[in-house]
Amino acid sequence: MSVETQKETLGFQTEVKQLLHLMIHSLYSNKEIFLRELISNASDAVDKLRFEALAKPDLLEGGAELKIRVSFDKDAKTVTLEDNGIGMSRDDAVTHLGTIAKSGTADFMKHLSGDQKKDSHLIGQFGVGFYSAFIVADKVDVFSRRAGLAASEGVHWSSKGEGEFEIATVEKADRGTRIVLHLKSAEDEFADGWRLRNIIKKYSDHIALPIELPKEVAAAEGEEQPAVEWETVNRASALWTRPRTEVKDEEYQEFYKHVAHDFENPLSWSHNKVEGKLEYTSLLYVPTRAPFDLYQREAPKGLKLYVQRVFVMDQAESFLPLYLRFIKGVVDSNDLSLNVSREILQKDPIIDSMKSALTKRVLDMLEKLAKNEPEQYKGFWKNFGQVMKEGPAEDFANKEKIAGLLRFASTQGDDGEQVVGLADYLARAKEGQDKIYYLTGETYAQVKNSPHLEVFRKKGIEVLLLTDRIDEWLMSYLNDFDGKSFVDVARGDLDLGNLDSEEDKKAAEEVAKSKEGLVERLKTALGDSVAEVRVSHRLTDSPAILAIGEQDLGLQMRQILEASGQKVPDSKPIFEFNPAHPLIEKLDNEQSDERFGDLSHILFDQAALAAGDSLKDPAAYVRRLNKLLVELSV
């Protein structure tokens, strides 16, 4: 063994300690995935070498036959996995094996519950990677040398997975990485050729380079030990290059786990080969669960890019719009050059054509899922719905298609679940209804009980209830669907069109005319607090509401802008009152201007609270209300 120099002991990052503990104790029921994870990492390392060697052929050091080898020693109870990929320098080893650089780590750790069964699913969303080795090993040795470095710059990393690791500089003749797992006493079943072969065939048959196991042969004459020959045990061809008819569902699922570093099966996938003006193959997956870094816009995202079967880059972002950033998979092009960069991708017209086609393919896949597997689509929406709502603003060309995939809560439900599609809404719309009605707010309880819905309940008209922070912003880009325009029931002067009879309209006009005096008194009393005062056609039970001007920002958008430190344009609400309500009748008969003013402001503040807004002067509201209570008790 080579002499070790510059040896030091370092501590794991806190998150690594937690992850190690969790994996060792939570994944005992699926131990064999350690080999899948280590082979997947080795495959990535080989892909990276192959790509870097395009520009620097000397990195191959004469060994251009790229492969992964898995061996075992029953007596020593070890399993060894070796690749001749890119390898690691000393700094690489400290960074990659001692810390978790993945964005979303903190969120991941917060979600750990201590329940081993639940936490094992969380690991799947995060990806287990190298640390899965400690599921079966009580000590792991890693010997590595980065391609291009001298043999004297090899590195030996060693740990028992208990909080610290040792690292030293060693001599290593060949580039690449060798991982030696010292198996726990109860895990020696893995030091077996038949067992390892079956795991590789089960999880890693799709890996597009040879995975070799030793094949024992009889010793040659005069030799004491039998010679070792290596045999390839996987198919060793890129799965996406094979015809769909030849690929089993289980193979697609295992390839997804490799390419996405996920633990669970995907929800759906689409495998497609395009020939003609453009030639490329795509294999796209919809994950079952959202990753923890889904809402971190700087988090890595995108497809694995291959050019003529050669790996070029991870997270190629240019092939799908940002609202589809959760999609995983590969795209393999025959039309791009091997030295393509991220900058070139952003400007290449070929990419625009591919992006358009791949986007439509994902949306078609989601449409199919929504139509054929509504329960699975419900799960998809819970995980990715808010991201999909970014679509209409970002992807004008597919706005109608995206709108058809959106799901909302509505007045038809009673639990706030977002399950109503726009096509379903229109299918059960009232005869003569030519609008899609919706209401935005902070919480489901607030919008469900909003006074703005009173006339809709009376007439049996369904209203969509939108409570996600993004919803008002979404609706500013979503003007219509299937030829029917959207109407915010809290905005402007509500017009129910054909849903109101001519008699209703005439009666409303007469009532408004009869209350012109009260309108003027209220304008005077409320002054600068309101933009307008008018008789309401929306109310049946409540005395008053605040409506939003047609061009004004709603409460959600104002709060988003304020939270981001942006200046919010000044706007005043429209005060609408219900002329048939007893409080309004009393107000109309009130002779004292002072008392009329107090009552008007109390009604205004109550309407603001019902809309989910905060009061500009809560003390004044309390003072007026207390004054009224005292008068009533006298």
Cα Rg of the chain (Å, integer): 33
* C-beta neighbour count of 151 within 10 angstroms: 14
* C-beta neighbour count of 349 within 10 angstroms: 7
Please state, in angstroms and as integers, the Cα–Cα distance from residue 191 to each residue in 109, 141, 558, following that order. Answer: 33, 16, 63
* Residue 384 to residue 365: CA distance in whole angstroms: 14
Residue 596 main-chain phi, psi, to 5 deg: -60, -40
Residue written as token pair 């080898």? 69
Long-range contacts of 98-101 (CB under 8 A, 24+ apart): 98/10, 98/12, 98/13, 98/16, 98/165, 99/12, 99/13, 99/15, 99/16, 100/13, 100/15, 100/16, 100/19
**Antiparallel, parallel or unpaired: β 574-577 and 310-316:** unpaired
> Is 88 annotated as a binding-site member?
yes
> Is 342 annotated as a binding-site member?
yes
* 444: Cβ contacts below 8 Å, ≥ 6 apart: 409, 416, 465, 467
Type of residue numbered 210: P
> Is 41 annotated as a binding-site member?
yes
Select from 569, 568, 515 the least CA-distant residue to 544.
515
Helix axes 249-260 and 193-203, enclosed angle (nearest 10): 90
> Is 132 annotated as a binding-site member?
no
Q: Are 91 and 73 in contact (CB under 8 A)?
A: no
> Is 8 annotated as a binding-site member?
no
> Is 104 annotated as a binding-site member?
yes
* C-beta neighbour count of 84 within 10 angstroms: 24
Order of strands across the sheet with 484-488?
A: 409-410, 464-466, 435-440, 484-488, 480-481
Q: Dihedral sign for Cα 525, 577, 486, 377, please.
A: positive
> Is 276 annotated as a binding-site member?
no
- Secondary element (H or E) of residue 216: strand 211-216
> Is 103 annotated as a binding-site member?
yes
Burial degree of 27 (CB within 10 A; 0-12, 13-18, 19+): buried
Select from 58, 68, 6, 8 the least CA-distant residue to 37.
68
Q: Are 404 and 456 in contact (CB under 8 A)?
A: no
Which two structure tokens, joined as six digits, stand for 358?
């791949």
Which two structure tokens, joined as six digits, stand for 429?
């719309």
**Antiparallel, parallel or unpaired: β 435-440 and 464-466:** parallel
> Is 143 annotated as a binding-site member?
no
* C-beta neighbour count of 485 within 10 angstroms: 11
- Burial 598-633, CB ≥16 within 10 A → b, else e: bbbbbbbbbbbebbbbeeeeeeebeebeeeeeeeee
* Residue 370 to residue 108: CA distance in whole angstroms: 29
* Residue 558 to residue 566: CA distance in whole angstroms: 9
* Residue 191 to residue 15: CA distance in whole angstroms: 30
> Is 83 annotated as a binding-site member?
yes
What is the SS3 assignment for 50? Answer: helix
Binding-site entries for ATP: 37, 41, 83, 88, 102-104, 125-130, 177, 342
Binding-site entries: 37, 41, 83, 88, 102-104, 125-130, 177, 342
